Amino acid sequence: MSEYPLFALSEEHQAIREAVRDLCEAKVAPYAADVDENARYPQEAADALQAADFHAPHVPEEYGGAGADALATVIVIEEIARVCMASSLIPAVNKLGSMPVLLSGSEELRKKYLTKLASGEGGFSYCLSEPDAGSDAAAMKTRAVRDGDDWVLDGVKRWITNAGVSEYYTVMAVTDPDHPSSARAKGISAFVVEKSDEGVSFGAPEKKLGIKGSPTREVYLDQVRIPADRIIGEEGTGFETAMRTLDHTRVTIAAQAVGVAQGAVDYALSYAKERQQFGKPIADFQGLQFLLADMGMKVEAARQLTYAAAGRSERGDKDLTFFGAAAKCYASDVAMEVTTNAVQVLGGYGYTRDYPVERMMRDAKITQIYEGTNQVQRIVMARQLLSGIQSELP
Ligand code: CAA
């Protein structure tokens, strides 16, 4: 028999939730509205998360990290997103950017960069997308050419979260353009690029609907010369590494979605108990109760799927590809619906920036888009279902 109660979080995971929640209520939530209003980096949150070792909790202890497992990392991200989605991108993108190094990098590369990430020397961003290569990621044009002991990178990466703030960047680039189009992914390799490398620069911050505190910028690579040992894994394995990374980190986007949706439910519940109409709290009306019940039910279903996916991420199960995509797709659709309904519960007040639910609704939208649109998630799920992997499992 398991030492844990059946189908419940361990005491350690519950303790992590309580610790992150306390920190977020005290040091992240108070700045969330201002960060959004002024589209400014959540520096207070960044400092608080780093001081508590929640900025990149997934980094293993052997590299000086907190060594949080995939479920603990999900709980950290969920709790931050509950009060400020933009701030939750700090641990989420640090995991996304560094996961290729963790999964496929040499031991030297891991030691060098994961240690720096854990110690707070700099964040890690992930550079896959380009202006003309979004859902079709393998259509990228950025080139990396071998020159003696170096690689020289040239191209433009787009939609890069925390670009300019991060010190380190995982960059996917074409190293062999001569592969037939049916095998173009095999011509892509992954590299670590540093912000201080000559030839690296950034575009203007995108003017976004939500997650305004998290800078999204283009990354320009102009003849960026890096030593050969900055390649992540073998030449030609960069696309596979990029996809394996997303299998793990789509679970963290699901966590953001669950968190922002829970924040909206919590606010709507407290408002419905306070707000009086027709001589009683609106929570007394069955029409509102049904809406609130659906919101709570869907967030809980999304949470359970996300935690199940986190378990698969931690164990590296064969069906992680399906579960990562399913959790991200389902939880983000729930987040959009639930945050929209929270605005509805607050009525006219919900539609103003004096209350947090319109921010949550704007922030939720991105979870249906980034780390692969929900249309792409369905392609990913269908391919794994049709491959038969699911039916091979016990
Ligand atoms: N694990 C391991 N290998 C994988 C894999 C996985 N999950 N998925 C694909 N591969 C391998 C395939 O096996 C294949 O290799 P073989 O030829 O040896 O079989 C190779 O990679 C190419 O795969 P596909 O043929 O499936 O590639 P495709 O061109 O058809 O693309 C896709 C598939 C699923 C649509 C993919 O392009 C995709 O995921 N697109 C969405 C991109 C995305 O998610 N972008 C998000 C950017 S990051 C971001 O948004 C972050 C942020 O800012 C916060």
Tokens of residue 300, six digits: 């809980």
Residue 321 in contact with ligand 1 by CB distance below 6 A? yes
Q: How far apart are CA 333 and CA 297, in angstroms?
A: 14
Task: Give CA–CA dist 97/120, Å, rounded.
Answer: 14
User: pLDDT-based confidence at 393, cuts 50/70/90?
Assistant: low
Read off the pLDDT of residues 82-117 as tens digits, 9 standing for 90 and up: 999 999 999 999 999 999 999 999 999 999 999 999
Is pLDDT above 60 for 1? no
Summarised one tens digit per residue, pLDDT across range 338-371 is: 999 999 999 999 999 999 999 999 999 999 999 9
CB 311 within 8 A of CB 70: yes
Tell me what the mean pLDDT of segment 275-283 comes to.
98
In the reported structure, the alpha carbon of residue 240 is separated from the centroid of ligand 1 by a whole-number distance in angstroms of: 7
User: Among 166, 243, 363, 376, which residue has the most ligand 1 atoms within 8 Å of its CB, making it the best to mutate?
Assistant: 243
Distance in Å, CA 185 to ligand 1 centroid: 9
Q: Cβ(335) to ligand 1 under 6 A?
A: no
Q: Note the pLDDT tens digit of each residue in 202-234.
A: 999 999 999 999 999 999 999 999 999 999 999
Distance from Cα 289 to the centre of ligand 1, integer Å:
42
Give percent of the chain with pLDDT exceeding 70: 98
pLDDT tens digits for range 33-83: 999 999 999 999 999 999 999 999 999 999 999 999 999 999 999 999 999
Helix, strand, coil abundance in the chain, percent, nearest 5: 60, 15, 25
Q: Are 133 and 108 in contact (CB under 8 A)?
A: no
The span from the CA of 231 to the CA of 190, in Å, is: 6
- The pLDDT score that the predictor gives to residue 309 is 98
Rounded Cα distance between 103 and 170, Å, is 12
Give pLDDT, residue 179: 86
DSSP character string of 184-230: GGGGEEEEEEETTSTTEEE-PPP--SS-TTS-EEEEEEEEEEEEGGG
* Residue 236 clears pLDDT 60, i.e. is over it: yes
pLDDT of residue 3: 65
Ligand 1 touching residue 127 (CB < 6 A)? no
How many percent of the chain have pLDDT more than 90?
95
pLDDT of residue 23: 98
Residue nearest to atom 31 of ligand 1 (CA): 136
52-63, pLDDT tens digit by residue? 999 999 999 999
Q: Check if 239 has its Cβ closer than 6 Å to any atom of ligand 1.
A: yes
Q: With 70 as the cut, is the pLDDT of residue 13 above it? A: yes
pLDDT at site 6: 84
Instruction: Verify whether ligand 1 is closer than 6 Å to residue 370 (CB atom).
Output: yes
Please state, rounded to an integer, the average pLDDT across all residues of the chain. 97
- pLDDT value at position 5? 72
pLDDT at 394 over 70: no
Residue 333 has pLDDT above 90, yes or no: yes
Read off the pLDDT of each residue in 286-313 and give the average, rounded to a whole number.
98
Give the residue-averaged pLDDT of 287-315.
98
pTM of structure? 0.97
Cβ of 240 less than 6 Å from ligand 1 = yes
Residue bearing tokens 């890690």: 124
Catalytic residue among 78, 79, 358, 371: 371
Q: How far is the CA of 247 from the centre of ligand 1 (A)?
A: 9
Does the pLDDT at position 311 exceed 60?
A: yes
- Cβ–ligand 1 contact at 376 (below 6 Å): yes
* Residue 388: predicted pLDDT: 87
Q: Which residue has the tokens 């000559």?
A: 198
3 is catalytic: no
Angle separating helix axes 85-104 and 70-83, nearest 10 degrees: 160
- 183 within 8 A of 177, measured Cβ to Cβ: no
Whether the CB-CB separation of 106 and 255 falls below 8 Å is answered with no
Element (H, E) at 178: none
Q: How many of the other CB atoms lie within 10 Å of CB of 347?
A: 12
